Structure formats: structure tokens, C-alpha cells
Amino acid sequence: MARTSKHGASLKPHARNPIRKGVGRGASVRKKAASLNLSVGGLLGHHMDAAGNSLSRLTTQPFAALMTLLVIGIALALPTGLHLLVQNARLISGEWANAVDLSVYVTPGTSEEALADLSAQIESHPLVDGLIVLTAAEALEDFKALSGFGAALDTLEENPLPATMIVRPNALDENPEKVMELAAELQALPRVDLVQLDTEWVERFHAMLDVVRRVVMVAGILLALAVLVIVGNTIRMEIQQRRDEIEITRLVGGSDAFIRRPFLYTGIWYGALGGLISVVLVTVAVHLVGGPVSRVAGLYGSDFSLRGLADLQWLWLVLGAVVLGAVGSWVAASRHLRHLETG
């Protein structure tokens, strides 16, 4: 039943305005979005301030910071230089492996026609890259020139040397086991007396490279741990120096993440700058050693040149140093902040 006023007007309850309700919700959403953007912007700004202040603090004690950076750079440059040494040694071993030939000694008394057929059969093999045929007479003349016993050899009634074939295999550096199979196949051919393949020194060299590679890996792990210790000890000393500042920040409500952030960026700066120093040290070392190495290689008829860090290699080195610095600073800061809180 509708209520009436004293003037006879009907009184009805006021209905809620749906438009105003929607406007209110929209304003609330906009306020929350603005608050979120403000908080994200403030967090980003604080990270930038922390990074800038951490870099500035390094310049307040330049000698101590430089000594720490040099130690980090040298610790990272040592395994990097050894890694480059192994890489260049593998390149050299690849050239040596390709230079390994097979000496095929033909059965004595083989006619020239049979020798030509045998050489054609060997040259058509898919694993053979080249072939040099020395007849028995040519082999004797070469032996006279190399041995210096020409007069004594002239007294022999018969030529004791057989015809020889120098076989150059292909893809030895990629498939050395295929060359062993080639030697076995050539040994099984008729009119082949002996196949000689001297690859033991190559196999020994590769075995030595494997040992050096393992040593480099172990040294890299140990020196990476050393970088963690260096960064952690540096952060520990800085926390001790700023102990009063940390306690005041906690009194006004600063969280551990807020307090830890500047020290985290300090470790990142140490890692990044130390990584760049290691890149410079390795590059200078390669430049100093590269010239003599190229001259020695030229004396042996090789165009080998020492290779340094590639583009991605130096970038990965710096990124790895940044990760080491960040991890070392985070662990040290978290541990010592807990110690200050309990102590």
C-alpha cells in the first residue's frame, strides 16, 4: 500500500541508480590499476636507484674495488684461457689428423699392369681422397737420396723394395674409425703385402686433450667457487660497515628484500665488471701469443692462427660472471642479515 504525504502526494521508495553503481565500480577499478602502476613504477624506480647507488659506492673506495675486480677477472680469465687452448689444440689436431696417410706396400714381383689395376681400384674407394704410386724403381731412387747409401745400393743385383702407394684418406678428423676400416679393406685386397697406418700418436694426442679438457672443467668449477667466495666476503664486509644503516631501516619498517637489494646489485656490478676485465685479459693474451704461434706454424707449412673469444663466447662469459656475482651476493646478504637480526 502506497504511503501519502499530508498534501496527498504518493510516497514511493527511491530505486537505486544502476548507472551510478556502474560508474562507482569503474572508478574503483581505475584506482586499483593506477595504484598497481604506481607500485610497479615505484619498484622499478627503486631498483634503478639501488643499481645506481651500488655503482656509485664502488667509486668511493676505488683501490679496494679495483683489487677485487682484478682478482675476479684473473679467476675467470684462467679457465677461459685454458678453454681456448684446448679449442686451438683441437684445431691443430684436426689438421694433423688429415695429414695422416696410409702406406700400401705391394707384393714384390707385381707387374706394372697389375699395379695400375690395383691403383685404380684403390683410388675409386669412397674413403680415398688421393693416391700417389711409387714403382719399385722410384722407391729405390728415393731411398738412395734419403739414406745416403747410394753406392752400397748400386751393388745389389735385385731391387729389394716393393712398389708403394701413398693413400690419403678423407674425413679422418670426423670419422677416424672409418680410416681403420679402410686400412683393413686395403689389407684384404690381392697383391697387397702390407698396409701401414701410423695413427697411434694422433690417438695419444686426443687422449691428452681429453685429460686437459677435464682439468679445465675442474679448474673452472673451483675458480667459479672462488669468485662466489670473493663476492660473498666483499658483501659481508660491506654489511658490517653499514650495520647501523641496516638497523635504522628495519626500525622504520624496511623489509629484508628492501635491505638486501643494494647488496645484490653490488654483487652484480662486481660480476659484470670482473667478467669484462677477464675478456680484456684473454684478448690481450691471445694477441700477444698469436703472432709467435703463427710464425711457428708457418715454419711447418701451416696457415694456422690462434683463435680468441667469439662474439657469443665473451657474452656468455660476462653473463656467467653476472650470475656468479648475483648468487654470491644474495647468499652472503641473506646469511648475514639473518645473523644481524638474531644477534
Q: How far apart are CA 84 and CA 111, in angstroms?
A: 53
**Cell 689395376, located at residue:** 117
CA dist 37 → 27, 74, 82 (Å): 15, 43, 49
The predicted pLDDT at position 113 comes to 86
Q: How far apart are CA 225 and CA 232, in angstroms?
A: 10
Helical ranges in 196-310 per DSSP H: 200-241, 243-251, 256-299
The CATH class of 101-197 is alpha beta
Nearest partner of 318 among 267, 264, 266, 279, judged by Cα: 279
266 C-beta neighbours (distance < 10 Å), count: 25
Residues 6+ apart with CB under 8 A from 262: 50, 53, 54, 57
Q: How far apart are CA 64 and CA 117, in angstroms?
A: 78
Q: What is the CA radius of gyration of the chain?
A: 39
Domain map (residue ranges) of the chain? 49-95+204-342, 101-197
Measured between its terminal Cα atoms, the distance across the chain in Å is: 75
- The letter for the amino acid at 33 is A
- Specify the 3-state DSSP secondary structure of 230: helix
Q: Are 96 and 199 in contact (CB under 8 A)?
A: no
Q: Are 310 and 283 in contact (CB under 8 A)?
A: no
Nearest partner of 335 among 233, 262, 247, 265, judged by Cα: 233
The predicted pLDDT at position 150 comes to 63
Positions of the chain with pLDDT under 50: 1-38, 173-174
Q: How far apart are CA 263 and CA 246, in angstroms?
A: 11
- pLDDT, one tens digit per residue, over 53-105 is 888 888 888 899 999 999 999 999 999 999 999 888 888 766 665 556 788 88
Nearest partner of 122 among 158, 167, 174, 80, judged by Cα: 167
For residue 167, count CB atoms less than 10 angstroms from its CB and return exposed for 0-12, middle for 13-18, buried for 19 or more: buried
- The letter for the amino acid at 265 is Y
Residues 6+ apart with CB under 8 A from 257: none
Q: Please report how many Cα atoms fall inside a 13 Å half-sphere around the Cα of residue 199, on the Cβ side.
A: 23
